[in-house]
Structure 1
Amino acid sequence: MVGEGVYHSCGCQSVYKNATKTLCGRDVSTWKGRSSYKTKFYTQETWWNMRDSSAQVNWTRCVWFPMVTPRFAFIAWLALQNRLSTMDRISNWCQADTTCVLCKKEVQSRNHLFFKCSYSAHLWSYLTGGMLGVHYSEDWSSIITLITGGSLDRRKLYCVRYAFHAAVYAIWRERNGVKHGEKVLAMSVLKKLTEKGVRNKLGLVDKKGRRGMENVLQFWFQMRG
């Protein structure tokens, strides 16, 4: 019979031996994985542990798709989340003139800048008007629905998505330049520079020979008339 607070000596010795083995053993560094601790460090699993995961948004494919230009995709990603510092957003934390610096008419919001603004609408129409035909729109939500869905064939979808990226990037860069004192670039020049950039990209895609993207540069010329 063992009273309260009294233990068998053999039991104490067993605990002591196990503790001694543990304390005297070699220290091993472990890294928290997605489901357990591991002795090897995995960047991907650490990234997953650090980030706040959320449901995948439906527009992800119109930002992150094969053969994107990273700087274009980044600005498009910010625009889709409405995180660009448009004048309507700036006015929320300081006094500012919210008038669009490109058309000098309407309040500069994300939806206005892409592509309700008379200045940016010229560029968007020039790049995609002939290709989209009856599907052409200058409304932000309609454009996102179009380039997110599957109503366009593979080559046309890539061309429109890339043109969207190029146009958003060009307009945002122009907006920033004008806001900081530069003159508005003539639309004829902006059209030429932006379209040339799209053509150069499509030429590179042609050389890669991806299935379903054959002669995509020729397709670009044909569809735009």
Structure 2
Amino acid sequence: MFLAILRSARTGDIWSEITRRDCRIVWHKLIWFPLHVPKYAMVAWFAILNRFATKDRLRRMGTDMDSVCALCADADKSKNHIFFECAFSVRVWSVVLGLCGLDRSTLSWDQELDWAVSCLKDKCLTVKLLKLAWNAFIYCIWEECYMGLFGGSIRSQCDIFYSLKEIFGFILYGRKFDRTDPTNAKLCIEWDLLD
């Protein structure tokens, strides 16, 4: 019976039935944009959907483990803490914002996501770098947390900055953008983006 119904259905009809049209994902262009790095985008996507097995989630599932953050050894390890409340993460994100010419304090996870979705819409170099930085920052912090969780060594903040600069250099190498624009020229200097 089911197979008979399935054979008579069109793919488009099935797709229409299983997708919700009233649920608009406002953050997709923050994650999936022309210069995205797939592994960074996937990790950022998981973070936005709150799919990481953070210590607070694992404890709620009955796993016996401490609640100390691997990065700062301070507070409960939740998504909010890991990315924008942990002293280690806040310092990294503040420097990233500074390298992009922004001088503002770090906000909570939800506020940072809202800020990124509402402000990172242009196609200028600053926005491209900030989108890359958002995804790379989430990936790097996630990677450091799990290195610490499984007994690995955690990189220094300087090593993370160097890694980000190197990655951005690879991604943006040979890309065309106006280097005579003062803002772009400053960004190229700050991020070591050479021709």
| TM-score normalised by L of structure 1 | 0.69
Deviates more, 1:134-143 or 1:182-191: 134-143
* Match in the other structure for 1:69: 37
Structure 1, residues 66-117: CA drift from partner, whole Å, max 9, x if none?
2211110000001011111111111111222121111000111111111221
Counterpart CA distance in 2 for 1:50 and 1:98 is: 42
Which letter maps to 1:124?
A: W
Which letter maps to 1:89?
A: R
> Is contact 1:202-1:217 (8 Å) kept?
no
Unaligned stretches of 5+ residues in structure 1: 1-28, 36-45
Unaligned stretches of 5+ residues in structure 2: 1-6
SS of alignment partner, residue 44 of structure 2: helix
* Match in the other structure for 2:49: 81
* Match in the other structure for 2:123: 154
1:203 aligns with one of 166, 173, 180: 173
> Residue 222 of structure 1: CA displacement?
4.8
SS of alignment partner, residue 197 of structure 1: helix
| TM-score normalised by L of structure 2 | 0.78
Counterpart CA distance in 2 for 1:51 and 1:78 is: 21
Q: What CA RMSD, in Å, does the superposition of the two structures yield over aligned residues?
A: 2.7
Which letter maps to 1:157?
A: V
Which letter maps to 1:106?
A: A
* Match in the other structure for 1:104: 73
Find out whether 1:145 has 2:123 as its counterpart: no
Counterpart CA distance in 1 for 2:52 and 2:186 is: 33
> Residue 148 of structure 1: CA displacement?
0.8
Which letter maps to 2:163?
A: L
The number of aligned residues is 180
1:163 aligns with one of 133, 140, 145: 133
> Residue 136 of structure 1: CA displacement?
4.6
SS of alignment partner, residue 79 of structure 1: helix
> Is contact 1:166-1:198 (8 Å) kept?
no
* Structure of greater Rg: 1
> Residue 153 of structure 1: CA displacement?
4.3
> Is contact 2:121-2:127 (8 Å) kept?
yes
* Match in the other structure for 1:20: none
> Residue 134 of structure 1: CA displacement?
3.9
